[in-house]
Amino acid sequence: MNIDPRKFISINGIDRRDFLLRGSGLVSAVFLAACNSRGPKAADRLLKYAERKNLVIERKLLRHTSMDAVQAGAHDAVNKLPSYFISRTVPVWDESVRGKWALEVSGLVGNPVRLTIEELQQLPQVSNRVNHYCVEGWTAVETWTGVPFTELARLVHADPLAHYVDFQSFDDDYHESWDIESAMHKQTVVAYGLDGKMLEPAHGAPARVYSPVKLGYKNTKYLTKIVFMPKMNGGYWSDAGYEWYGGT
Amino acid sequence: MIRKRHHWIVRTTHWVNVVAIIIMVGSGLRIFNAYPAFARKGEMFCCYPFEHKPIPDWLTFGGWLGGARHWHFAMMWVLVVNGLVYLTFIYLHGEWRDLVPRRGDIRDSLQMVKFYTFRRKDHPHQGKHNALQKTAYFLLPVFGALAVLTGIAIWKPVELAPLTAVFGGYVWARYWHFIAMLAIVILSVVHVFMVFAVDPYSMTSMITGNYDPSLSPEARNARPFYHLFPRRARAAAAPPPPAAT
């Protein structure tokens, strides 16, 4: 069959040059945008908008009845559990300088308290064998022992207007604030034990918040203060550009 | 003899999909590079030979983990809404009939493979798409749906634990998410290659919607890169020319 040469020049009113120009323009625009950059600046507002909408959806998805469960046959991470902190060296509470460590629970509460590690251990205790979900994509199974956050909230008579709670630490200025719903989840504990032993400095001693409903970076280690708040208060990684919610 | 080949909804969703898939894959690989492995800490993973080997940076998008996550979690809505618009349209408009697999597609696919490998002289007769194309265009939304569902499963492994369990738990859901991405990438690369190699006129039809059936691969008896070797192609048997217009 003979092919009409004009067909190669003009199809549907677009000639080849036009087509190549338009086509290569589109392709190079996509590739320019896709090179390992952070993407066009103009998109920042759209991304922020999407994050706000996702936050609404994620908060609605949160159920106090949905529990994290470890898969049958999963092994504990034990010494493979990574250790993260923002200070240069492992943060250790030095009693000779700072006095005895105590956890302050305050803010919008009727009965602010300061709890030593012994007092924490006398409060109702739970051990949860749960998944740790890291923002990087890995998971690790560990058993965390501590006080359910709900017990602390009851102890201090948390105000119903406290919609947020800030977990602060002595690891430099590390802190992360949470929505109160996630904090009141049954599996959220203020943990002082890991795998049946007292928590070690590598993993947040003397106490840290731990919950499988939040990504690792939301679970502040090296706790000093738990502050009930009417408004959200950002956080170390949230302010650096990670999602504030960080839920699972 | 120019015919309308693609409705404007199909053309629009196609190009939106191109952008969405490129950004989803690029940002996904950037996220993956934060922990380029599947094993739970303290365990080994059976089925990925490149554990802890990062993806080359130039294939990633978003710049850093947090940035890539923002792109991924924003673009996922574009991908899902666009996909639903496309599927709803082809269902209501009847185009799904050109894409669902039928008895005989396997036989027709084998004939296409025979033709492309010079073991058959004439291009097998086809409808809108040949059997291989049909399979690819049918599988793409299937893997798309798998990517979306496994994506939701690893986004909300606690709140939507039953969904995560369907895919075998978090570690495996993350693995199937990766496999679905790989399948989509392979299908897309082959698709783009075949557009340029066999049916470059289909590029115009995906932009303007118009297509000249006398230039179809079947009419031209086109194998990959046939249009670069017109002399060789002319020797092949050709169907009768279309009626004069």
Q: Which residue of B has its CA nearest to A19?
A: B204
CB contact under 8 A, A243 and B203: no
Q: Locate tokens 């003009």: which residue? A: A10
Nearest to A245 by CA among A226, A203, A207, A217: A217
Would you give per-residue pLDDT tens digits along chain A (248 residues)?
A: 455 544 444 445 556 556 666 767 766 666 655 555 677 878 889 999 999 999 999 999 999 999 999 999 999 999 999 999 999 999 999 999 999 999 999 999 999 999 999 999 999 999 999 999 999 999 999 999 999 999 999 999 999 999 999 999 999 999 999 999 999 999 999 999 999 999 999 999 999 999 999 999 999 999 999 999 999 999 999 999 999 999 99
User: Which residue out of B70, B75, B160 would a mutagenesis test of the A interface target, given it has the greatest number of A Cβ atoms within 10 Å?
Assistant: B70
Domain extents for chain B?
Answer: 3-234
Q: Which helix (H) or strand (E) holds A208?
A: strand A208-210
Interface pTM, i.e. ipTM: 0.86
Which CATH number does B3-234 carry? 1.20.950.20
Which phi-psi region, left, alpha or beta, contains residue A241 (left: φ > 0; alpha: ψ -120 to 50)? left
Does the CA dihedral A121-A126-A127-A131 come out positive or negative? negative
Rounded Cα gap, residues B177 and B154, in angstroms: 9
Tokens for A188, please give them.
């959220």
Residue A158 is given by DSSP the state B
User: What residue of B is the nearest CA neighbor of A60?
Assistant: B159
Return the residue in A9, A51, A64, A71 with the most chain B beta carbons within 10 A, the one to mutate for interface testing: A71
Backbone angles phi, psi at B232, to 5 degrees: -65, -40
Helices within chain B (DSSP H only): 8-34, 65-93, 105-116, 131-155, 161-166, 170-197, 201-207, 217-220, 230-234
Whether A165 contacts A177, CB under 8 Å: yes
Whether residue A25 lies within 8 A of chain B, CB to CB, comes out as: no
From residue A93, how far is each of A28, A98, A201, B23 by CA, in Å? 55, 7, 9, 45
